[in-house]
Homo-oligomer: A and B are copies of this chain.
């Protein structure tokens, strides 16, 4: 396995961001597929502004990327980030979030975007 040592302070910043139930769940959801804001709102059962603010923190830190497609903005993990290896390790240690996405799909709330 390739091994790049990241500054301890950078690691601390990433861990701090992931040290929040909401954001850790967001990252967990993104492990399986990209998602748009309204999907997070539905899964997390939180207000839209609150979700947006969490996403902004993750984006500002570079942990996630955003991509607009029509009226939706899709978020995905940024595999280029220096702390991505740590995120991957953490993702292996938490319960899979796929189930929540599948429930969304069954409820007809999954966004399908062909743009």
Contacts and interface: CB of A to CB of B under 8 A. Distances in A.
Contacts of A95: 5, 7-8
Q: Main secondary structure on chain A at its contact with chain B?
A: helix
Contacts of A93: 5-6, 11, 83, 85-86, 89
A13 interface: yes
Nearest to A21: B12
Contacts of A111: none
Given A89-B86, A89-B89, A15 B24 contact: yes
Interface residues of A, number: 29
A37 interface: no
Nearest to A5: B95
Contacts of A16: 15-16, 19-20
